[in-house]
């Protein structure tokens, strides 16, 4: 592709293999989106009327959805980065009257797509949440998915003689995301670190505390991003009031105001955004103490950040790949918005001779609380 950048595409049913030359020659664009919820990809091929892709590969089922696995690897300065490991979900053919202008677009998702295909009913008799999660993820180890599960701080276990929890007519991915939302966690399947391997992470939304090279703007020859902008939402932060009954008489309602503070993701600014809204939780007053405590803790760990940023960069000028779910520094945007940010999502746009990224950032608080950022 470019000096110091090499692209590898593995594709095939079951076990992906290096893409044939005819496929790589016809590949005109790759788009990969890595977010904190799920990831997806899109491959665009330009083909002619007599192209083997159209006459042979497509007809033979080479791009069939669900069974065809795709692995995309970008090697930058000798270091391989697994951008995507997923399954094809959709194919779209657009014929053209002009010779060699027809396009075949392949769209897919990460391997969590395999967890969203079959609805089933599974009883979790006497199981805590962590056991139910491991049981749900067990069948997908055959795809190279290694589970990493952080047990919830509060996990009530129903007495089996009274009742038990069941997975009722939902897919494994829907169940895992519902459990994650309930306790303020996230569930995401991340590709890598090696080709053919992925990590199914169930736990708090914690970004790796490893700072990436800073995003520099408005610094003349030291600038390494093409565009960068920030916005502050004054209504993003709020206080929520939960109502619980006292544990002794279970008749006296006790209001519990919960601030919009995530102790696992501390503010990265010296001036945190003050809460502007007050809301009341309409459900949960009749729940037991442990369930109410679990819901309150989940709200504290699943709050929003007030400052968001978005921009684009050229990987060659940045001299590396910006990764999602990590920290990155910003410099050159002024005293209020310089400093460290969480990288929420990254979109890779790859074409012949071009590799660019769009990204979104977030944090809470103006004015950096760190004196320096990694250049």
What is the DSSP annotation of 207-264?
A: -EEEEEEEEE-S-GGG---SEEEEEE-TTS-EEEEEEEE-TTTS-SEEEEEE-S--TT
Locate 65 and state its tokens.
Answer: 């959805």
For residues 346 and 328, what is the distance between their CA atoms, to the nearest angstrom?
A: 12
Tokens representing 33 are 């989106």
What average pLDDT values come out for the chain (375 residues) when binned by 10 residues? 83 92 93 91 93 90 94 91 96 87 94 93 82 92 94 74 74 92 89 92 84 93 94 87 77 80 79 85 66 75 82 93 93 94 95 93 90 84
Confirm if 228 and 215 have CB atoms less than 8 A apart.
Answer: yes
Strands annotated E in 131-191: 145-149, 165-170, 186-191
Helix axes 129-137, 172-183, angle to 10 degrees: 150
pLDDT attached to residue 310:
95
DSSP H or E run through 203: strand 198-203
CB 74 within 8 A of CB 5: yes
Q: Which 8-state DSSP code applies to residue 2?
A: B
Cα separation, 216 vs 228, in Å, equals 9
**pTM of the full predicted structure?**
0.88
Position 78 scores a pLDDT of 84
By the 10 Å C-beta count (0-12 exposed, 13-18 middle, 19+ buried), 321 is classed as buried
pLDDT at 174: 93
**Among 54, 5, 66, 82, CA closest to 317:** 5
Half-sphere exposure of 242 (CA within 13 A, CB side): 22
């Amino acid at each position: 592709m470019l000096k110091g950048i090499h692209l590898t595409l593995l594709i095939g049913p079951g076990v992906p293999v290096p893409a044939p030359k005819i496929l790589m020659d016809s590949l005109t664009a790759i788009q990969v989106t890595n977010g904190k919820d799920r990831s997806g990809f899109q491959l665009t091929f330009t083909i002619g009327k007599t192209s083997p892709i159209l006459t042979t590969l497509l007809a033979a089922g080479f791009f069939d959805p669900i069974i065809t696995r795709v692995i995309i690897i970008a090697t930058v300065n000798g270091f391989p980065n697994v951008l995507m490991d997923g399954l094809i979900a959709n194919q779209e053919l657009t014929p053209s009257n002009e010779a060699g202008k027809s396009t075949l677009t392949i769209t897919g998702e990460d391997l969590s797509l395999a967890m969203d295909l079959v609805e089933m009913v599974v009883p979790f008799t006497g199981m805590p949440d962590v056991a139910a999660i491991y049981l749900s993820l067990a069948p997908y180890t055959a795809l190279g998915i290694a589970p990493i599960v952080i047990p919830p701080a509060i996990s009530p276990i129903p007495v089996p003689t009274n009742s038990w929890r069941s997975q009722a007519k939902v897919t494994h991915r829907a169940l895992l995301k519902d459990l994650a939302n309930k306790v303020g966690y996230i569930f995401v399947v991340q590709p890598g670190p090696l080709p053919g391997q992925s990590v199914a992470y169930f736990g708090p939304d914690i970004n790796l505390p490893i700072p990436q090279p800073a995003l520099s703007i408005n610094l003349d020859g030291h600038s390494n991003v093409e565009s960068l902008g920030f916005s502050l939402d004054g209504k993003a932060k709020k206080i929520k009031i939960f109502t619980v009954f006292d544990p002794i008489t279970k008749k006296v309602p006790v209001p519990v105001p919960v601030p919009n503070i995530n102790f696992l993701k501390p503010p990265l600014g010296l001036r945190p955004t003050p809460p502007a809204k007050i809301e009341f939780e309409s459900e949960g007053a009749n729940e037991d103490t442990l369930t109410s405590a679990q819901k309150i803790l989940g709200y504290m760990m699943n709050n929003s950040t007030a400052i968001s940023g978005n921009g684009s960069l050229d990987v060659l000028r940045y001299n590396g790949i910006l990764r999602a779910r990590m920290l990155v520094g910003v410099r050159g945007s002024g005293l209020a918005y310089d400093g460290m940010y969480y990288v929420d999502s990254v979109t890779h746009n790859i074409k012949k001779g071009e590799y660019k990224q769009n990204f979104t950032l977030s944090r809470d608080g103006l004015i950096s609380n760190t004196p320096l950022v990694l250049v």
